[in-house]
Amino acid sequence: MDRWGGMRVAIVSSFIVLLGSVLAAVSSIHNNYGLLVGGEILLGFGSTVSQVCQYKLYPNYVEGRHMALVFGLTLAWNRLMSVIAKVAAVPMTKLDHNWGWALWISAMLCAFSFASVLAYAAYERSLPPHHRPPVPTREERKRSWVQLTGVPLVLRLPKFYWILNATQMFQHGVWAVYNANVADMQVKTRGTSTQAAGYNSSLQSVIPVVLTPVAGFFFDRYGHRMTFVSITAALYIVVFVLIGLTKVNALAPIIISSFAYVTNLLPYFASLPILIDGDELLGTAFGVFQSFANSGSLIMNVAAGSIQDNTPHQKYNRVIYLLVALKAVDVALGPVYIWLDRRWLRGSLQLPEKTRVAILAEVHKAGGTLEGLKKSKWTTAICGGILIAMTVTGIVIYVIYSLGASD
C-alpha cells in the first residue's frame, strides 16, 4: 500500500473479504467444507490487509491533533464488534433452523463494508489534491523486481522502530496465550462450568470499549505512551498470578485484565507513526509490526501448549511462570524505551501530540533528522534477521506439533 496507496489497496482487500464471505455462505447451501475453508482463508487475508489500510490512512487526517484518540476509537470499535459477533453468532445459526444464516448475514455486512469503502474512495477523490493521502506516481512505481518485493522499503525503516518491534515480539504472544486459555484456567483451577467461564472471560472486552478512546485522548493531550508499557505489564503480572496460581473469584483478575487490555496495544499503535518520519512508509511499518506480532503469538501459543501438555495433570502453573517472567521483562522495557526516547527522539514518545509535532517541525526546519528516525544497517540486519528466524521457527514448530497432534 506504500507503493499503490491505501485507498486502492483498501478497495481490493475489501472486495476479497466480500468474495470470501460469499464463498463461505454458499458453502452452507451445499455443505461443502472445502469451499468454507477457502472462503475463510480469503476472509482472513483480506481483513488483515484492510485493517492495515486504516492505519496507513489515519495519520493523513489526524496527525498532530488526535492520532492516538483515533487509534483508540478504532480498537474500541473492533472490540465492540467482536463482542457483538460472539454473542450473536449462536442465535443467528438458529434462524429458520438453518446454521447458514450466520454466514449469509456476515456476507451482507461485508457487502455493506465494501460499499462504505467505495464511498470513502469517492470522498477522497473529491478532496483537493493537497488534502488527499499521498500516492506514489506512475514513474515511482516503475521499478525493478527487487523493489516490487517491498524489501527496499523495509530496509528504510528507522532503528528505534526496529528495536521496539523486536523487543515486543513475544509480549503480543503473552496476551494471546492468556486470552486463549483464560476460560480453561477457570475450569481447571476453580471447577467453573465451561459456560460460566466463557461468560466471565467475555467481560474483559467490555471496559476497554469505553476506556480505550479515553486512553487515546490521554496520550494525545498528556503523552506518557511508554510509561503505560510498564504499567500494563505490571497489571498483567497481577492478573496471571491471581487467575493461574490462586483460587480467588475469577472475576477479580478478569476485571483487572480488562483495564490492562485498554493499553495492551494502543501505546504501540500510537507510537508507530511517530517512529516513521512521514507517511511514506506507514503501510510497510504496520505490516512489519503485524509480522512480528503474529510470529511471536504463533511461537508462544505452541510453546505454552507444549509446556501445559508436559505439566502433571495439564495444569497451568508452568505456563503462568513463563508468562509472568516475560511480563517482568516488559516492566523493565518501559524505562529503557523512555531512556532511548529522550536520547534519540527528544522525548517525542512521552510528549503531548502538539508539542511533539512542534519539535519535529523545528528539527526539519533546521534540515536535520532525529537520531531515532535514522536508519541503521546493523539494527536493521539484526532485528530483520530475528524476524526471519522467528517466522521460520514458528512455521516449523507449528507444522511439527500439528503433525504430532494428528498422529
Query: Residues 202, 191: contact at Cβ < 8 Å?
Result: no
Position 168 scores a pLDDT of 94
The grid cell for 372 is 531515532
Q: State which H helix or E strand residue 90 sits in.
A: helix 67-93
Amino acid at 21: S
In angstroms, the CA 228 to CA 295 distance is 23
| Stated pTM of the model | 0.85
What secondary structure letter does DSSP report for 348? G
Position 189 scores a pLDDT of 85
The grid cell for 227 is 510509561
Is residue 1's pLDDT more than 80? no
**Average confidence (pLDDT) over 121-132:** 86
Count of beta carbons in the 10 Å neighbourhood of residue 53: 24
Question: CB-based burial of residue 336 (10 Å sphere; 0-12 exposed, 13-18 middle, 19+ buried)?
Answer: middle
What b/e sequence results for 76-95 when a residue is b if at least 16 CB atoms lie within 10 Å of its CB, and e otherwise?
A: beebbeebeeeeeeeebeee
Write the pLDDT tens digit of every residue in 264-314.
Answer: 999 999 999 899 887 778 888 988 998 898 888 888 988 888 888 888 888
In angstroms, the CA 164 to CA 187 distance is 36
Whole-Å CA distances, 346 to 19, 39, 52, 144, 371: 47, 48, 28, 38, 9
Write the pLDDT tens digit of every residue in 353-386.
Answer: 989 989 998 998 888 899 999 999 999 999 999 9
Is residue 146's pLDDT more than 50? no
The mean of the pLDDT values for the chain is: 85
The grid cell for 392 is 521460520
CATH class for domain 150-407? Answer: mainly alpha
Write the pLDDT tens digit of every residue in 225-257.
Answer: 999 999 999 999 999 999 988 889 888 999 999
Position 225 scores a pLDDT of 95
Higher pLDDT, 190 or 333: 333
Is residue 220's pLDDT more than 60? yes
In angstroms, the CA 14 to CA 117 distance is 7
Q: Could you tell me which residues come within 8 angstroms of residue 245 by beta carbon, excluding any fewer than 6 positions away?
A: 317, 320
Position 257 scores a pLDDT of 92
In angstroms, the CA 289 to CA 284 distance is 8
**Average confidence (pLDDT) over 74-83:** 83
**Average confidence (pLDDT) over 93-122:** 84
Write the pLDDT tens digit of every residue in 22-78.
Answer: 998 888 887 887 888 888 888 877 887 887 888 888 877 876 678 888 889 988 888
Write the pLDDT tens digit of every residue in 181-214.
Answer: 888 888 888 888 877 777 777 778 888 888 999 9
Q: Where are the alpha helices (DSSP H) in 98-193?
A: 101-126, 138-141, 145-148, 151-155, 159-190
